[in-house]
DNA sequence: GTTAGCACTCAACTAAGAGGAGTGCTAATA
DNA sequence: TATTAGCACTCCTCTTAGTTGAGTGCTAAC
């Protein structure tokens, strides 16, 4: 168990390092207002804190730097909740000023403003389209052998995909088909569509239409590649500002990671609630060993979920980011619940 | 006018510098097979070429480096057309192997393969949706006060936008409206829709439906923000490989530029035909002063156009990139013309 | 228990010197 | 007259040595 004085010193060191990105020396700490003891005392405590694994040295005679364990402790026990100032609040509010209701537009804007306010990189996951339910299904033929299938969901999202029509397809059957499809598919979630198509719709259609087999098959292939939640980025190059990323290789690895959808998705932890903080190697991705990732989720309507991530150096301003994310998730949730359709 | 020998030397220097990114000395040149004269002679010629502005020195006793004027001359007069090897051709062909017809999918894949083959960054502009023509217009109501307008174009592209329904809107009128809209809008290009709506459709609708004014107004606002051509990137971080970009600031500026749609659009020169090469400061963008941009266009169907850009250092392998782009533009054009719908 | 004092460490900076790739010029050569 | 060998010169790059200063750990005094 740490003594009060150790807590105080650890906090001072982490705060200082977060601010200045320089190893912190005993003198530097002793000059702070809230610190009443001498550099020598602080040096002793520092040595203890280092032995306990909360601090590290870059070389024998350097100042101290928080270790991952140090950050973890800081985040878990020393992070006094902080309000955010009115300028920040105003900026966040500006996201919702436009009277446009489009979800995508709001999320895009949120990503930009979050990255501006934090000066880190933000990633926002849009709603998980897979759980949307079909509101209307329609098919528009383009030529004798191709057509577009369009699905409108209850949340106003539109999925569309081109597919090939069976070679000897009777155009006159199209209307019948669309009717059957609507009867059977409305209310079904996108992820269940192709199951439903094969299990149920196929047999019904076979009674009405000749080339139903081929047709349904084409539809199934078209709806198979389920579109994942859209990803929005803000401040992709913000990390260039951080001294720890004055290293092309690190930056490159992170940027590359951000181009890979699956990697980005695995940054999120949709099943945990509240605000998650992953520090350095707590992230599964090797590329992230110098980064911390703070994530949270927000609601879109009743059962839709989106997610937010902020990526910065382990020396991240946790206090501020947590506060901002807290406001953000609530504002987004509120905005999307108010405007949600049945 | 340059002598034959000067041409030969200039070519050798540019080729060498493109390959090794190191200032080229007279000895280095003299060792080449095709060069039959001594380093001293070459030094004399180099001095002349420098006086003429084709070469530069990084310092008094360094080797020579091509100037922008040098590259320009090289590109204009010394670029013997080159075939590409069968491995490359195979890779390019693999884009079209999948039997999927979706334009977007093909373009996305092209972007990736181009960046792989060149090891530079590729940007592909999708078809200019604005010139597509309406094939089908439909409206799906979501709730009492919102609906989605959907436009399917002749090329199978789908535009959709949410909009607010007028407060006292009679749902029963919807079908009438959609009928009228289809009658009037089919065949109209996307860029002309809102003109057409205001000029023609409004008056017709007013005769049939009460809240036509508000309705059309909402539609017009929704279709106003014309969606630009989609942009696809390949190898965004490839430039990290180039020694001239071992400089965070340069890389950052370019990456930032690539996040700005308008800036990216202005890299292209859709009205010029063939393959365009902009070397260094020939680009309008300050951020591009160390880059060359090679662009070309490809056709999608009869009157659609897409564009390709390759961004690399001024020390770019022009020969190879030009050859690759040439193949690419033809293959894309062919693929999209074959599968085009009426 | 706290702190002043001091020897010690080590990164970061500076200066000086050696090495080497390359040039320009001059004079010899074909 | 065009080409080339020879040579002095330039200047980048790398290495080495020395200096500075921030910071530590330890000891002894308070």
How far is C-alpha A10 from the chain's CA centre?
Answer: 30
Q: Determine phi and psi for B275, rounding to 5 degrees.
A: -110, 125
| B232-258 average pLDDT score | 95
DSSP conformational letter for A222: H
Indicate the average pLDDT of chain B: 91
> b or e along A318-339 (b: 16 or more beta carbons within 10 Å of the residue's beta carbon)?
bbbbbbbbbbbbebbbebbeeb
More confident residue, A329 or A198: A329
The answer to whether B255 contacts A248, with C-beta atoms less than 8 Å apart, is no
The Cα A252–Cα B237 span in angstroms is 6
What confidence score (pLDDT) does residue A338 get? 67
Q: What is the pTM of this model?
A: 0.91
How does DSSP assign A255-289, residue by residue?
HHHHH-HHHHHTT--TTS-S-EEEEGGGSS-GGGT
Q: And the tokens for B164? A: 């607010």
- pLDDT-derived band at B341 (thresholds 50, 70, 90) equals very low
Task: Compute the distance between CA of residue B259 and CA of residue B248 in angstroms, rounded to an integer.
Answer: 16
Q: Is the pLDDT of residue A198 over 90?
A: no
- CA distances from residue A340 to A106, A186, B142, B146 in whole angstroms, order as listed: 14, 18, 10, 10
Give the pLDDT score at A342. Answer: 40
Q: What backbone phi and psi angles, to 5 degrees, belong to A289?
A: -65, -20
Interface list for chain A against chain B, based on CB atoms closer than 8 Å: 101-102, 135-136, 138, 140, 142-143, 146, 148, 150, 152, 154-156, 158, 160-162, 164, 236-237, 240, 246, 248, 251-252, 255-256, 259, 341-342
The predicted pLDDT at position B303 comes to 75
A156 pLDDT band, cuts 50/70/90, is: confident
Q: Give residue B101's pLDDT.
A: 62
Q: How far is the CA of B293 from the C1' of C23 (A)?
A: 33
- Cβ contacts of residue B145 below 8 Å, gap of 6+? B164, B165, B167, B169
Q: At A137, phi and psi to the nearest 5?
A: -115, 130
Distance in angstroms (rounded) separating the CA atoms of residues B88 and B164: 51
CA distance B212 to B214: 6
Mean of per-residue pLDDT scores for chain A: 91
Do A193 and A223 contact (CB within 8 A), yes or no? yes
Give CA–CA dist B312/B291, Å, rounded. Answer: 5
Higher local confidence (pLDDT), A262 or A172: A262
Percent of chain A past pLDDT 70, that is, above it, reads 97
- Identify the pLDDT of residue B162: 84
- Which residues have C-beta within 8 Å of that of residue A266, sequence separation ≥ 6? A284, A285
Instruction: Assess whether pLDDT exceeds 80 at residue B339.
Output: no
Residue A226: what pLDDT?
A: 64
pLDDT at B200 (0 to 100):
85
Q: Which of B28-37, B60-69, B214-223 has the lowest mean pLDDT?
A: B214-223
Which residues does chain B have within 8 Å of residue A152's beta carbon, measured at their own beta carbons?
140, 142, 148, 150, 160
Burial zone of A112 (CB within 10 Å; 0-12 exposed, 13-18 middle, 19+ buried): middle
Distance from CA of A191 to the nearest CA of B (A): 20
**CB A31 under 7 Å to nucleic chain C:** no
pLDDT for residue A17 is more than 70: yes
């Amino acid at each position: 168990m740490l003594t009060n004085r150790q807590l105080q010193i650890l906090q001072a060191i982490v705060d200082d390092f977060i601010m200045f990105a320089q190893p912190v020396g005993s003198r530097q700490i002793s000059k702070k207002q809230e610190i009443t003891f001498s550099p020598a005392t602080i040096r002793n405590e520092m040595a203890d804190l280092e032995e306990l694994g909360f601090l590290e040295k870059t070389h024998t005679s350097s100042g101290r730097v928080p270790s991952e364990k140090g950050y973890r402790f800081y985040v878990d026990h020393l992070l006094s909740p902080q309000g955010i100032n009115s300028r920040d609040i105003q900026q966040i509010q500006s996201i919702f000023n436009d009277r446009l209701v489009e979800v995508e537009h709001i999320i895009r804007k949120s990503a930009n403003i979050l990255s501006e306010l934090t000066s880190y990189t933000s990633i926002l996951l849009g709603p998980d389209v897979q759980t949307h339910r079909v509101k209307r299904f329609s098919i528009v033929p383009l030529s004798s052998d191709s057509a577009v299938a369009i699905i409108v969901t209850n949340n106003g999202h539109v999925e569309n995909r081109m597919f090939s029509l069976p070679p000897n397809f009777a155009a006159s059957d199209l209307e019948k088909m669309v009717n059957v499809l609507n009867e059977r598919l409305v209310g079904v979630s996108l992820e269940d569509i192709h199951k439903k198509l094969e299990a149920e719709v196929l047999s019904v259609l076979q009674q009405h239409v000749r080339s139903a087999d081929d047709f349904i098959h084409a539809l199934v292939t078209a709806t198979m590649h389920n579109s994942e939640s859209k990803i929005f980025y803000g401040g992709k190059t913000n990390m260039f500002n951080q001294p720890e990323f004055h290293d092309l290789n690190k930056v490159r690895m992170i940027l590359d990671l951000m181009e890979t959808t699956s990697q980005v998705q695995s940054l999120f932890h949709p099943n945990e609630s509240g605000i998650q903080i992953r520090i350095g190697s707590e992230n599964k991705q090797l590329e992230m060993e110098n980064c911390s990732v703070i994530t949270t989720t927000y609601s879109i309507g009743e059962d839709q979920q989106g997610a937010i991530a902020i990526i910065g150096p382990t020396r991240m301003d946790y206090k501020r980011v947590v506060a901002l994310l807290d406001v953000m998730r609530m504002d987004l949730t509120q905005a999307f619940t108010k405007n949600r359709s049945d």
